[in-house]
Structures are given as C-alpha cells and as structure tokens.
Amino acid sequence: MKNIVISGYYGFNNLGDEAVLAGISSLLKRKREDLKITVLSAEPEQTADRYGLNAVSRTSVVQILAALAEADLFISGGGSLLQDVTGSFSVPYYLGLAWLARLQGTKTVYYAQGAGPLNKKWSQLLTAFSLNRFELLGVRDQGSQNLLQEIGVKKEIELTVDPVFALYDPLNNLKQQIKGKIEVGISVRPWSVDYISELAAALNQFAEGKKVKFIIFPMHQGSDEESSLQLQKKLKAEAEICALPPVPGEALKVFSQLDLFVGVRLHSLIFALLNQIPLLALSYDPKIEGLLSELDYLPLIKLEDLKADQAAAELENIFAARYSLRKKIKGFIKLKKAGAEDFAELVLEEVDTCES
C-alpha cells in the first residue's frame, strides 16, 4: 500500500478549499483504491469523518513528522497556498512542510495550484529554490505558470486545471424545473474595496420588471456572513442567505436550479460552472482572471471597476443568452474534468516509482 500526505488550507470551513480536497482525494482513490491518504487539517477529526481519510493536526510537528515518516509522496495543494498578500506565514509554512518531507526522502508534488501574488523578494527566492526540487509541478492557470517562471523556477511546469473540476457530475445537470421566478445565486466576500453598494444597485436594476429571487451563499463560514448580510439588506427583491452543506458534493447540488450566478470567490464560480450556470465574475485576484481567460463569452469585472449600470447590462446579456451559454459551458467543463484526470495520472506515476 502506498501512502500519500496532503497539505493545504483544510479544516477551516472554507467550502472552496474543502472542494479542492474532495477533488484531489476522489481522483486518486478512484484510480487507486488501495492508497492511504493522510490530510494535514485544522480539524482532523472532522476531515477524517467527512472524507473517509486519515487526518492529523496541521500544527502538530510530532503528528506531521510521524505521517511523513510513512509517506511515499507529499502533495502540496491545491488552492493558492504560495502567496504573501494575506500575511507572511503562508509561504514558509507550506514550503517548510515540503522540506520536512524531502528530508525524510519523500517525493513532493505541487498539485494544480494557483501561484501568487508573491510581492516580497524573499518569498520569490524561497519559492523558486524549493519548487525547483519538487518531482512534479502543476499549476491551474497560465498566469501562475508565467509567474513561477519569472521568479526563477526552471523545472518543467505542467499547465493543468483546478481539481474541483473533477467533481463534475452530468447527473446534477438534468433539465431545470419550471419555476415562477428567476433565481440568481450570489457569493460575496470581505475585501478592501467597498463594492457591496454598487453590486446591490446592479442587482436591483436587473430585477426591475422581473420576478427575481436572490440567493446569497457564504462560501467561507465565519468570514462571508457579514458581507452577505450587508448585500441582503440592500436588495429590493426577495433575497435569502443560504447556508450551504459542508460536504462539497452536497453543496454543488444546491447550485443546480439557479438561472444565473454572480460570484467573487473563485470556487463559487467553479461551482456555478459545474452546474452549467451562466455567470458574471467579479475579480479581486488574478486567479479569477485565470479561470475566465478561457471563457470569453462570460463577463468579468474587477471589483475596483464595478459600476452598477455595466454589471446590470452584463446580467441582462447573459440572461438573454442563457440557453446557448449553458451548452458552451458544458463543453468547457468536460475538457476541464479530462484535464484533472490527466494530471492525477501523472501524480500516480510518481507514486508508482516510489520504493515501498
């Protein structure tokens, strides 16, 4: 039996990161049922129970070293772990774990991550020095590949896809029910730009003369609720805040009956795409542009440029074209799921070359 240890932002009630873990683990276990996977988590008991995997505390050096001592492969990712915008801890923490693995002779894989922003010189140097010593590097978008090459990563970098696309299930995309209202899903998050009022004005403008119901989804429990409530109070049409199930597969199904989606968080947008929902992306980070770079038929507005009239017009456009857009999105998702499968095969090839 081969042992894999996975490190990421797991156990923090962030549904996007939980979906990343679900995508990686389901891909690997579907292809190799006998794999033993151990996750480094902030809530190891919860993670173990939710995914049927082993889990240890991400802050216990003793437990981490014990897991790595048995590991054949160490996976860093997915998500956007190597960035220095939210603090200076992420880069040394996640790369430090990889070095602990290497010191024990364990192979390391950078799994379909988004890289950056990396604004500090020491972050760039440490990242390049470390990633050049990984066995396999995979990034989820072209911008991340370009950034890593610019800061000095010489090793080949595979351009792959976010592992959440592995959760695509066409059975969740059956014909929508006939409803008396247009259901618009929304995901917002706190950010340095004050955009809630402008977004509310756009949504109110779109809802004029229509029967619309707005459903707001806090994707990161404990973080997104306040912004969601602020938006709800400013909306004139019916609006509710919907607490999503903590299990990614169940949360995905909640999106299935939406007609449109407006999202700030990356994985809220991917959840919408997995359900073939036409969307308006609001970008606070280059990773959003990375996702939309292959979807030129869907609109994107940067948060700092958000204006009510433009956003309302974009919503009108995608609503008018929603049936043709759903067909285009379906083809895109199929390609992305195949890409996720292909990268998992590369990871398993690394596992197969490990000495037992």
Q: What are phi and psi of 47, to 5 degrees?
A: -65, -45
Q: What is the pLDDT of residue 353?
A: 86
- Say which residue, 55 or 355, is predicted with more confidence: 55
Q: Residues 136, 201: one domain?
A: no
Q: What is the pLDDT of residue 41?
A: 98
Q: Residues 188, 50: one domain?
A: no
Residue 95: inside a domain:
yes
End residue of a domain, out of 131, 160, 189:
160
Q: Residues 290, 246: one domain?
A: yes
State the pLDDT confidence band at 356, using cuts at 50, 70 and 90.
low
Q: Residues 26, 144: one domain?
A: yes
Domain residue limits at 303:
170-335
State the pLDDT confidence band at 170, using cuts at 50, 70 and 90.
confident
Residue 205: inside a domain:
yes
Report the share of the chain in percent with pLDDT over 70: 98
State the pLDDT confidence band at 177, using cuts at 50, 70 and 90.
low
Q: Residues 133, 34: one domain?
A: yes
Q: What is the pLDDT of residue 52?
A: 95
Answer whether residue 172 shows pLDDT above 90: no
Structural domain total, the chain: 2
Q: How would DSSP label each residue in 27-76?
A: HHHHH-TT-EEEEEESSHHHHHHHHT-EEEETT-HHHHHHHHHH-SEEEE
Q: Residues 84, 195: one domain?
A: no
- Please report, for the domain that includes residue 294, its CATH number: 3.40.50.2000
State the pLDDT confidence band at 354, using cuts at 50, 70 and 90.
confident
Residue 237: inside a domain:
yes
Strands 136-139 and 212-216: unpaired
- Please report, for the domain that includes residue 135, its CATH number: 3.40.50.11720
List Cα–Cα distances, 38 to 32, 155, 221, 274, in angstroms: 15, 27, 24, 27
Answer whether residue 175 shows pLDDT above 60: no
Peptide bond into 152 cis (omega under 30): no
Each residue of 11-46: pLDDT tens digit? 999 999 999 999 999 999 999 989 999 999 999 999
SS3 92: helix
Residue 177: inside a domain:
yes
**In angstroms, rounded to a whole number, what is the distance separating the alpha carbons of residues 263 and 203?**
12
Q: What is the pLDDT of residue 326?
A: 95
Q: Residues 188, 96: one domain?
A: no
Residue 349: inside a domain:
no
Each residue of 59-84: pLDDT tens digit? 999 999 999 999 999 999 888 999 99
Q: Residues 204, 320: one domain?
A: yes
Q: What is the pLDDT of residue 186?
A: 98
Residue 34: inside a domain:
yes
Q: Residues 124, 101: one domain?
A: yes
Q: Residues 266, 242: one domain?
A: yes
Answer whether residue 178 shows pLDDT above 70: no
Each residue of 137-163: pLDDT tens digit? 999 999 999 999 999 999 999 999 999
State the pLDDT confidence band at 174, using cuts at 50, 70 and 90.
low
**In angstroms, rounded to a whole number, what is the distance separating the alpha carbons of residues 353 and 313?**
54
Q: Residues 217, 86: one domain?
A: no
Pick from 233-242, 322-331, 347-356: least confident: 347-356
